[in-house]
Amino acid sequence: MSTLIIHNTHILSFHEGFKKGSDAIAVHDNRIKAIGRFEEFQTLIQPNTQIINAGGKTLMPGFNDSHIHIWKVGNLKTFMLDVRAAKSLDEMLSMLEEYSKLYPDVAWITARGFNEAGWKEGKMPTREDLDKVIKDKPVYVIRTCAHIAVANTKALDLCHISASTKVPAGGEMLTNGNGQPNGIFTETALGLITPHIPAYTKAELKQMVKAARDEMYSYGITAATDPAVDPLLLEAYYEMQHANELGFRLNAMPIILPDGSDQPYPIPEKYSSDFLNVNTVKFFSDGGLSGKTSALKRHYKNSNEQGVLRLKKEQYLQLSKSAMEKGLGIATHAIGDAAIEFVIDIFKELHEFFPDHTKRIEHLGLPEEKNLIDMAEHHIAASMQSIFISELGKNFIKYLDEDYLNHCYPIKTILAHGILTALSSDAPVVRDFNPLKGAEAAITRKNNEGEIIAANESISIEEAMRAYTINAAKIGNTPQIGSIKEGQLADFILLDKDPTSIATESLTTIKVEETFVDGKSVWRREPKS
């Protein structure tokens, strides 16, 4: 007996074998029971059946963001200052000063989101800059990429940082002309500061997740992968799962090596349920392309920098084997060509012993042709971020030579090799994590300034939609979602327009009208008054 029927709708799905033409969907409990023509559903209608006339709107699977730092998205809505809108160093400093006045009792001022490449002066802030506005309490400001941060003098003093401080392998503590720390830290060296910042409680983490969830709903995101989960956050996720508080399909990827430490976290147990899955663990092999910490074989343009390779081969290999012995897959952040080659060599070795276990590369910014051949042969998947082209493209143009730039995030070439590829946002690295914006970037290859990057790597709208739905479900080992077909979990969205029948430049004008999880409406756009 059906509990919900939606009719007068245009149904889209991007799985193989999907046939257009249906105008109605029936849901029983939390599963899709039938798809077809409304006139065929009359025998399913009972006195307690809910019937919704969609008014011609498009119904498609909910979007699945296969790489989004959910709690960090929520943190910028709750406890951390968001400086992503700052258009200059002075503007960021003013935001910090104002925040300090508004919250005088905060022990540490933490902020995130600056991107110096978009500032007129193009200068990375230092501790001296932060000291100009706040001297009496510690300040820690994370760059948009989250691979670089700057601290003020008060923070350095509290953390006992000096010129003689030992910097962990895979990180950097930058210095000024006198050899003293200038407050800038990269990669694993962030671990010199972060343990001293008061930790969030589980209750606060849950508050952040719920704040992020509401924004995800508004973009039609019903499933997501959090790709760097520490033990406390994992506990919070388990508690939310057991209390039925998640409200979206979550793949939690526990991180194994914390910043600044050679001591790994315990390898978790594999876990599977309708709302929470723990089936893959996460490593970082390099940094961010937009901040010149991704590990390259050549130098960044007009510099002698080649980024940072973070992992030690033997430790990485051994920890990966230990995780795979527990049935877990391995996901590794790798953006630069040097890091990608390093990770693929390890994955090829793991493939000999664990051929059926998930092996996925997060980001895959600058792969070489030989890398893609190896990935296809050894079933290595990719979770990529076309939306970086939009928001961080100005950085790529500034920092990459012509050859690198012409095959930056080469999604079309990767798909042509038959590599399982999902699209995602990596928010809050980007401000706008609307999947339709990510699809637009994958098709137009334009940054927000209108410049085109690697135009030959453009993909179709159907390929982009597949990457945000069925492919994302496959890469996350959650086959019960990602498509509109009988027996699937009833997670879908209603859009005011069909994304496959609209001009690319109009994709982001499409509005999510309603979001459903388990066949229940969890978010609805408020009508204009």
Structure confidence by residue, pLDDT tens digits, 136-185: 999 999 999 999 999 999 999 999 999 999 999 999 999 998 999 999 99
Per-residue confidence (pLDDT) for residue 498, from 0 to 100: 97
Q: What angle do CA 148, 150, 154 make, to 5 degrees?
A: 150
Residue 51: which CATH number? 2.30.40.10
Q: What average pLDDT does this structure show over 16-26?
A: 94
- Give the pLDDT of residue 236: 98
Beta strands in 397-451 (DSSP E): 421-423
Residue 414 φ then ψ, to 5°: -65, -45
- Rounded Cα gap, residues 186 and 410, in angstroms: 26
Strand partners, 271: 278
* Stretch (H or E) spanning 381: strand 381-384
Same domain, 51 and 87: no
Q: Is the pLDDT of residue 529 over 70?
A: no
Other Cβ atoms less than 10 A from the Cβ of 272: the count is 10
Cα atoms in the 13 Å half-sphere on the side-chain side of 392: 31
DSSP state of 14: -
- Residue 227 pLDDT greater than 70, yes or no: yes
Q: How many residues does the chain have?
A: 529
- Tokens for 528, please give them: 């204009």
Q: What is the mean pLDDT of residues 309-332?
A: 97
Note the pLDDT tens digit of each residue in 357-384: 999 999 999 999 999 999 999 999 999 9
Question: Reduced to 3 states, what is the DSSP secondary structure of residue 376?
Answer: helix
Query: For residues 181 and 172, what is the distance between their CA atoms, to the nearest angstrom?
Result: 10
Q: Averaged over 516-527, what is the pLDDT?
A: 95
Task: State the burial class of residue 245 (Cβ atoms within 10 Å of its Cβ: 0-12, 13-18, 19+).
Answer: middle
Decide if pLDDT at 283 tops 70: yes
Coil, helix or strand at residue 231: helix
Residue 293 shares a structural domain with residue 387: yes
pLDDT band, residue 47 (cuts 50/70/90): confident
Burial of 431 (0-12, 13-18, 19+ CB in 10 A): middle
Q: What is the number of alpha carbons within 13 Å of residue 411 lying toward its C-beta?
A: 29
Beta bridge partners of 27: 4, 32
From 165, 67, 174, 181, select the one nearest 131 (Cα to Cα). 181
**Mean of per-residue pLDDT scores for the chain:** 96
Q: How far apart are CA 95 and CA 139, in angstroms?
A: 12
- The token duo for 81 is 């200052």
- Domain co-membership, 276 together with 414: yes
CATH of the domain at 160: 3.10.310.70
pLDDT for 2 equals 64
pLDDT band (50, 70, 90) for residue 261: confident
**What are the backbone angles phi and psi of residue 311, rounded to the nearest 5°?**
-95, 150
155 and 237 share a domain? Answer: no
Show the tokens assigned to 79. Answer: 């406890």
Assess whether pLDDT exceeds 90 at residue 527: no
Q: How confident is the model at residue 33, as a pLDDT?
A: 95
Q: Which domain holds residue 51?
A: 4-62+490-524
- Is 171 exposed, middle or buried, given 0-12, 13-18 or 19+ CB atoms closer than 10 A? buried
Q: For residues 17 and 48, state if they share a domain.
A: yes
Look at residues 195, 307, 304, 312 and name the one whose alpha carbon lies nearest to residue 258: 195
Strands 31-36 and 4-7: unpaired
Question: Rounded to an integer, what is the distance from CA 196 to the centroid of its chain?
Answer: 26
Describe the crossing of helices 313-325 and 337-353 by its angle, rounded to 10 degrees: 40
Q: Is residue 75 part of a domain?
A: no
Measured CA angle at 461 (ends 459, 467), to 5 deg: 75
Together in a domain, 245 and 341 = yes
Q: What is the mean pLDDT of residues 18-22?
A: 93
Residue matched to tokens 């009833």? 490
Return the closest-CA partner of residue 342 out of 314, 321, 323.
314
Q: Which of 166, 87, 73 shows the shortest CA–CA distance to 448?
A: 87
Nearest to 87, CA basis, from 386, 425, 448: 448
pLDDT digits (tens, 9 = 90+) for 103-124: 999 999 999 999 998 898 889 9
Tokens of 247: 């409200």
CA distances from 463 to 412, 456, 519 (A): 9, 15, 26
Residue range 327-348: mean pLDDT, rounded: 98
The pLDDT of residue 259: 84
Instruction: Return the HEC string of 175-197.
Output: ECCCCCEEEEEEEHHHHHCHHHC
In this predicted structure, what is the pLDDT of residue 231? Answer: 97
**CATH number of 464's domain:** 3.20.20.140
Please tell me whether residues 250 and 389 are part of one structural domain.
yes
**pLDDT tens track for 410-448:** 999 999 999 999 999 999 999 999 999 999 999 999 999
Residue 74 lies in a domain: no
Q: What is the number of structural domains in the chain?
A: 3
Instruction: Say whether both 180 and 251 belong to one domain.
Output: no
Place of tokens 């193989």: 16
Residue 1 above 60 pLDDT?
A: no
> Same domain, yes or no, for 171 and 259?
no
Q: Which of 166, 196, 226 represents a domain boundary (last residue)?
A: 196
| Bridge-based pairing state of the strands 359-363 and 381-384 | parallel
Q: Are 413 and 61 in contact (CB under 8 A)?
A: no
The answer to whether residues 222 and 244 belong to one domain is: yes
Task: Calculate the alpha carbon distances from 424 to 67, 73, 92, 159, 310 in Å.
Answer: 5, 14, 28, 35, 23
Whether a cis peptide bond, with omega within 30° of 0, leads into 499 is no
Same domain, 362 and 414: yes
What CA–CA distance (Å, rounded) separates 523 from 305?
A: 46
412 closest CA partner among 449, 370, 382? 382
Whether 438 and 467 map to the same domain: the answer is yes
